[in-house]
Amino acid sequence: MSIEVGKLLDHRNGIQKKRIFWDEELYRLEMERIFARSWLFLTHESEIPKPGDFFCTYMGEDAVIVTRTRSGEIRAYLNTCTHRGNQLCQAEAGNTRSFTCSYHGWSFDLEGKLAAVPLEADAYHNLLDKDRLGLPRVPKVESFGGFIFGCFDPDAPSLRDYLGEMAWYLETFTARAGVELLGPPLKSVLHCNWKVPTENFICDSYHVGWTHAAALKVMGGPLAAMSGNTQAPPGIGIQVSTRHGHGFGVIWEAASALHRQPDYEEFLRAKQPEVAALLGEMRGKLYRAHWDAGIFPNCSFLYGTNIWKMWHPRGPHECEVWSWTLVEKDMPADLKRKIQKEALRTFGTAGTFESDDGVNMHGCTYTNAGPHARRGEMVSVMGIDHDSTHPELPGFVNDANYSEIAMRGFYRFYAELAEARDWNEIIARTHTVARNGGNSNGAPQTATPRP
Amino acid sequence: MASPVGLELFHQIEQFYFREARLFNEKRYREWLESMVDREVYYWLPIFEERYRADRKPPPEFPPAIYDDNYKDLEERIERFETNLIWMEDPPSRIRHLITNLEVYHAANADELETFSNFLVCRNRREHEQTLMIGGREDRLRRHPDGWRLLRRKINVPQRVIMDTNLYYFI
């Protein structure tokens, strides 16, 4: 590899070279080393409930079809015909018995098998070895809490192990009644590198009061005080970074802060004792907190506001954002509808918050067109001397509302994954860290290297 | 099919839409809301899904929308502009609405009209940014003592993946 990723990123001092948002060569390396090795969010089981249901998405820049077979198993295939490589499925979702190519009519069943070839006897003299021409399968497809992820690397750990400590946190909202995503997703183009929105969602509570000053001011209520970043209310939140580059920021008791009607808050208060009984008081508390979160590499969500996002990379200077609404399965239909309205009103394509972000993300990317700017560095030093462990919370925790700990954790793992020979090297390192560190007092032992 | 309106009423409605476009171009949103929009308005920009013609999967139970706004929702969006804290609008963007293909019909209710129109919206920001959006609108207008007001609007945007950074402007 001609790029030394480690030289672009200094996690100990919280520094990233600006060219990480611009370089073509680094982008190609990311496709091979980050996107080809990570578990990538595909869709949710609630989006493909029946055999024959399918959903088309991307893993990095590879188009894939996610489908439920006749036996109910979920599989993913590269969305490309094995004959001449045409895009096989050209609808974005639906229900089908087979996928038929628009070029010569080759047809593949839900198990990915090449089932029918027009004029097979006349054109191929019945000599075509159809068994060898099935759709290429994504080797690993697994679910957690109904969220379906795929991974191109057969040596990667299980999805559960990949999510690691983050899974403990995700259970806060997945374990009680289960969740579903309301789709189809909104889709729009952002003129920015895919890492810019990713690092924003994973930790950036600092921008909220400034970038979103207008929306906060109009909204009123407890968060209006954040507008303009003139005061930092003490003790309102924490920041968390977990093994494999995941992380999130928390504002306590603020899950429903962006919802204008009280019924979501009432639902959370009613269900909180169930969550606490099932998972303990700490996760009961997290259940009523607002989270801005990232699942490495390019999946983000806001728990509470309940928007779920993928940032699909489209070259180094562009990405596509897909947005679903996250709801709990046992919510009344009327509440699901209201949550969807509020989630998309704030973080949809014309979102009162979302529309503020795109401009900054464009700016963070395109200033690097200049070679002098590109040689510079960016800092993520916020709270760097206050990173710590916590008696009850896994991972590394910064006990403050403002900290870039999860951004440092993201880039730390980004470099580790890009430079590692393979997953075995990473897994071995995880075990070493777990032996030497780890939390006490009953919290799951941390496997996160200090960010 | 409902019957088309006469020339004079058609002219009135055409002027209604040209005035609305001018208020949008000049970003006089408050004036638009208070003088051209009915209190019971529903302003809707749904998304669609690219499906095969023969597809049999039922449509989603909760269809998502980019705009799903009542009067209060629209007013809050306008208040956001009025804070002057939207950095994207400082320096301000420039926007131009062209309205074409107008058809105006009598509705079943004598105090209402149904209309169809097409739009082209061009937004320019900073030095180089220019985005275009072309689509259609299906409206219902309601007669008020001082003229017509927008009661319902469905905006059809043909882009599945919105090619602009956001759609935070009125159409």
Average pLDDT value for residue range A368-387: 93
Secondary structure (H, E, C), A255-294: CCCCCCCCHHHHHHHHHHHHHHHHHCHHHHHHHCCEEEEE
B21, exposed or middle or buried, with CB in 10 Å at 0-12, 13-18, 19+? Answer: buried
**How far is residue A350 CA from its own chain's centroid?**
21
Instruction: Indicate the residue type of A233.
Output: P
Asked if residues B144 and B109 have their Cβ atoms less than 8 Å apart, the reply is no
Instruction: Name A142's bridge partners.
Output: A149
The DSSP call for residue B6 is: P
The residues, ordered by sequence, that sit 6+ positions from A351 with a Cβ below 8 Å of its Cβ are A344, A345, B166, B168
Q: What pLDDT shows up at residue A439?
A: 39
User: Among B61, B88, B95, B171, which would you mutate to test the A interface (most chain A Cβ atoms within 10 Å of its Cβ)?
Assistant: B88
- Interchain contact, B52 vs A191, CB within 8 Å: no
Tell me whether residue A312 is one of the annotated catalytic residues: no
> Chain B residues with CB inside 8 Å of A211's CB?
87
Residue A443 has pLDDT above 70, yes or no: no
Q: What is the H or E stretch that residue A324 is in?
A: strand A319-328
Confidence of residue A432 (pLDDT cuts 50, 70, 90): confident
Query: Which of A83, A104, A191, A362 is an active site residue?
Result: A104
> Chain B residues with CB inside 8 Å of A359's CB?
87-88, 165
Asked if residues A395 and A447 have their Cβ atoms less than 8 Å apart, the reply is no
- Interchain contact, A336 vs B47, CB within 8 Å: no
3-state helix, strand, coil in chain B (%, to 5): 25, 40, 35
Instruction: Report chain B (171 residues): mean pLDDT per 10 consecutive residues.
Output: 92 98 98 98 98 96 98 97 94 97 97 98 94 98 97 98 95 97
- The pair of structure tokens assigned to A122 is 């006349």
Q: What pLDDT shows up at residue A437?
A: 46
Asked if residues A299 and A40 have their Cβ atoms less than 8 Å apart, the reply is yes
Q: What is the H or E stretch that residue A344 is in?
A: helix A333-347
Domains defined along chain A, listed by start? 41-142 (2.102.10.10), 165-436 (3.90.380.10)
User: Among A349, A352, A362, A367, which would you mutate to test the B interface (most chain B Cβ atoms within 10 Å of its Cβ)?
Assistant: A349
> Chain B residues with CB inside 8 Å of A90's CB?
50
Alpha helices, H only, B37-95: 71-82
Alpha-carbon span A403 to A13, nearest angstrom:
14
Cα of A248 to nearest chain B Cα, Å: 25
Instruction: Name A116's bridge partners.
Output: A107
In this structure, the strands spanning B65-69 and B37-46 are antiparallel
Alpha-carbon span A299 to A198, nearest angstrom:
7
The residues, ordered by sequence, that sit 6+ positions from A350 with a Cβ below 8 Å of its Cβ are B45, B66, B67, B166, B167, B168
CB pairs under 8 A between A and B: 127
Q: What pLDDT shows up at residue A381?
A: 93
Question: In chain A, which residue's Cα lies nearest the Cα of B59?
Answer: A94
Alpha helices, H only, A19-126: 24-30, 120-124
CATH class of residue range B7-48+64-156:
alpha beta
Asked if residues B101 and B108 have their Cβ atoms less than 8 Å apart, the reply is no
User: Among A107, A334, A359, which would you mutate to test the B interface (most chain B Cβ atoms within 10 Å of its Cβ)?
Assistant: A359
Q: What pLDDT shows up at residue A224?
A: 78
The residues, ordered by sequence, that sit 6+ positions from A20 with a Cβ below 8 Å of its Cβ are A8, A9, A26, A193, A195
A175, exposed or middle or buried, with CB in 10 Å at 0-12, 13-18, 19+? Answer: middle
More reliable by pLDDT, A385 or A370: A370
Q: Is the peptide bond before B145 cis (omega within 30 degrees of 0)?
A: no
Q: Which residues of B touch A (CB under 8 A)?
A: 45, 47, 49-52, 55-57, 60-62, 64-69, 73, 76-77, 79-81, 83-88, 160-168
Residue A445 has pLDDT above 70, yes or no: no
Question: In chain B, which residue's Cα lies nearest the Cα of A213?
Answer: B85
Residue A435 has pLDDT above 80, yes or no: no
Average pLDDT value for residue range A371-389: 92
Alpha-carbon span A121 to A115, nearest angstrom:
14
> Chain A residues with CB inside 8 Å of B132's CB?
none
Tell me whether residue A212 is one of the annotated catalytic residues: yes
Query: Which of A212, A244, A259, A390 is an active site residue?
Result: A212
Among B62, B80, B87, beta carbon nearest to A182? B62
Instruction: Delimit the domains of chain B by residue range.
Output: 7-48+64-156
Tell me whether residue A290 is one of the annotated catalytic residues: no
> Chain B residues with CB inside 8 Å of A187's CB?
47, 160-162
